[in-house]
Amino acid sequence: MTTTVEPEAPEAPEPRPRDLSVRELARWIWRQLTSMRTALLLLLLTALAAVPGSLIPQEGVDSLKTSRWQDQHPTLTPIYDRLGLFDVYSSAWFSAIYLLLMISLVGCIVPRLGVYWRALRAAPPSAPRRLDRLPAHASYTSEQSVEEVLDRARGVLRGRRYRLADGDGAVSAEKGHLREAGNLVFHLALLVVLAGFGLGSLYGYKGGAIIVVGDGFSNTLTSYDDLAPGRLFDPDVMEPFTFTVDDFSAQWLYTGPRAGMAQKFEAPLTYRTEPGAQEEHYDLRVNHPLSIGGTDIFLIGHGYAPVITVTDGDGNVAASGPRPFLPTDGRTFRSFGVVKAANASPTQIGLQGELYPTYAFDHDHGPYSTFGEALDPFISMTVWTGDLGLSNGTPQSVYALDTAQMTMLKKDDGAPFRVDLRPGESVELPDGLGKVSFDGLQPWVRVQISRQPGIHLALGGVIAALLGLLGSLFIRPRRLWVRARTGEGGTLVEVGGLDRTEGGDPADEVAAIVAALRGEPAPDRPGDPQREEPEA
């Protein structure tokens, strides 16, 4: 389709159907849909339709940014939402455009498959009467007989991988059928890519989980912090693997233009592909996912989990262990988190506040972090008492405190009571509520786990498309004829060539064949690139 000249309908518009039967109408619509011009318009429409998704935040790409944008634009949001502009690439109108494009493509390609099949089996066409009217032609007189010349021509052309047919005193030759094959393969492969992509988004899933170093993960729905399943995703296909994050390390840069950046993130894992299987090890790194069956595990983030112990008024431990805090600043890893001590008595206790991996304080900014590495960690949290709201059955985030039914502890002067601690320190809560201690810091990693069925189909499809494309762009379909007849001074040999691609120039080929027929070395390719230009 790319360069072969379309057997396009003439410029005159199709007669509009009036009083036509349903069948004729359907036929008319089909012809319109599969015309090259429609395909072109649909292509441009696809490009245009893809634009809004890059300008408006997309639910599926960055949901946090999307909800923030929606909060800032209360009037536009309902309109955009109705138009599907927050999820352009799965919206009805976007799907409609690319499905129409695919239908148009099938409509273009299927008839051409038949044409191609017939052309493939047909013999090269017989020689035109006047070879000297072809775009490239040459003639010379030979001492050899007609049969000798034609025999030699057959040998030469076969050596140049032409398909041959004999005519009356002439040899017809043809090659380059692969161009159209490439063209067909390219277009069919696009359907394969779409199928692979569709399989992935229907049956696949993508989920994330935060795992504190030392903890394990087992691949079941409940282990995920967030999960984006495809519409037809079946949890039964999830691979039954488990793994433990043994360690996490990163290399922080202290100097240079990127000071404060970290590199070489590495999280050694111990994993089993299924319960009871052999234990294996893998160093999970950015750009180096771990594949288990059809599922891939990626390292995509990291952070800190302060180990905080809450001892209640009775002296019992009400909460302990590492609590992942989520970075609110990607550079300095200033992080936010909560602790919920539901079993504390006399009242439930909640803590919420920030962690500063490298603590600093000044009067303009208050407390902040100067560096992402935990060089001087410090937590500063407020204390809440009352009902944590865990018992009413509604699911709650483990990263946020529901303070609706809680009150903040205050000091006598009315300022909030703050738990400000460095590792190893502890503080007594007022009113005999208990004690909070900050025992240390554990790193956590965020892994993304995804299963994308059809990924190899899509990859294979796009590689086939590329190969087909190369064929359709660079293979030259050619027809050549050699005719010999007895003339006055010997045998008159004529060679004519035709290149059916636009701009194709078979002159070199004709010259080379003439040279081979006469037994000369092939002529050099003339250097003037504008030689092809038809003079005046």
Partner 1 sequence: MSNAQWETISNQAVAAAGVVYFLALLAHLVQWSALRKVPVGSVARRATGAVGAAARRAIAGESPQGSAVAVLEREPADVSRRVAMFARLALLLTGLAVGLHAVALLGRGMAADPNRVPWGNMYEFTLSGTFVVALLYLVFYRRLGLSWLGPLVTGFVVTLLMVAVVWLYEPVAPLTEALNSTWLVIHVVAAIIATGAFTLGGFTSALYLLKARAGDRPAGYLARLPELPVLDRVSYRLHAFGFPVWTFAVLITGPIWAHQAWSSYWNWDPKEVWAFITWVVYAAYLHARTTAGWKGRNAAWLALLGTATLWFNFIGINYFSTTSQHSYAAPEVGTSVVVER
Within residues 298-337, the interface with partner 1 by CB under 8 A covers 298-303, 326-328, 330-331, 333
What residues numbered 330-389 form the site for partner 1, per CB under 8 A? 330-331, 333, 372
Tell whether residue 89 is a contact of partner 1 (CB under 8 A): yes
| Orientation of helix 178-203 relative to helix 455-474, angle to 10° | 160
Residue with smaller CB distance to partner 1, 371 or 481: 371
Q: Which helix (H) or strand (E) holds 465?
A: helix 455-474
Residue with smaller CB distance to partner 1, 197 or 368: 197
Round to whole Å and give the CA distance between 498 and 477. Answer: 9
Min CB(522)–partner 1 separation in Å: 19
Confirm if 33 and 503 have CB atoms less than 8 A apart.
Answer: no
Residue window 396-415: x/- pattern of binding to partner 1, with contact defined by CB under 8 A: -xxxx---------------
Round to whole Å and give the CA distance between 170 and 172. Answer: 7
Segment lying near partner 1 (by CB under 8 A), choices 121-129, 202-210, 230-238, 376-384: 202-210
Q: How many residues does the chain have?
A: 536
Round to whole Å and give the CA distance between 174 and 497. Answer: 10
Tell whether residue 256 is a contact of partner 1 (CB under 8 A): yes
Residue window 100-139: x/- pattern of binding to partner 1, with contact defined by CB under 8 A: ----------------------------------------
Tell whether residue 288 is a contact of partner 1 (CB under 8 A): yes
Min CB(83)–partner 1 separation in Å: 17
CA angle 183, 184, 188 (to 5 degrees): 120
Residue with smaller CB distance to partner 1, 176 or 303: 303
Which of 33, 43, 227, 237 binds partner 1 (CB under 8 A)? It is 43
DSSP code at position 168: S
Encoded tokens for 494? 């004529």
Which of 79, 466, 486, 523 binds partner 1 (CB under 8 A)? It is 466
Report cis status (omega within 30 of 0) of the bond before 346.
yes
Tell whether residue 230 is a contact of partner 1 (CB under 8 A): no
Tell whether residue 177 is a contact of partner 1 (CB under 8 A): no
Min CB(444)–partner 1 separation in Å: 11
The three-state secondary structure class of 321 is coil
CB atoms inside a 10 Å sphere around CB 386: 15
The three-state secondary structure class of 149 is helix
Segment lying near partner 1 (by CB under 8 A), choices 164-172, 236-244, 402-410, 522-530: 522-530
Helix, strand, coil percentages (3-state) for the chain, rounded to 5, are 30, 30, 35
Beta bridge partners of 285: 266, 288
Residue window 436-465: x/- pattern of binding to partner 1, with contact defined by CB under 8 A: ----------x-xxx-x--x--xx--xx-x
What residues numbered 501-520 form the site for partner 1, per CB under 8 A? 502-503
Segment lying near partner 1 (by CB under 8 A), choices 16-24, 76-84, 311-319, 392-400: 392-400
Could you tell me the end-to-end alpha-carbon distance of the chain, in angstroms, rounded to an integer?
30
Segment lying near partner 1 (by CB under 8 A), choices 124-132, 288-296, 339-347, 374-382: 288-296
Round to whole Å and give the CA distance between 166 and 150. Answer: 9
Min CB(54)–partner 1 separation in Å: 4
Min CB(321)–partner 1 separation in Å: 19
Confirm if 319 and 308 have CB atoms less than 8 A apart.
Answer: yes
# residues contacting partner 1 (CB under 8 A): 98
Alpha helices in 73-129 (DSSP H): 76-82, 92-121
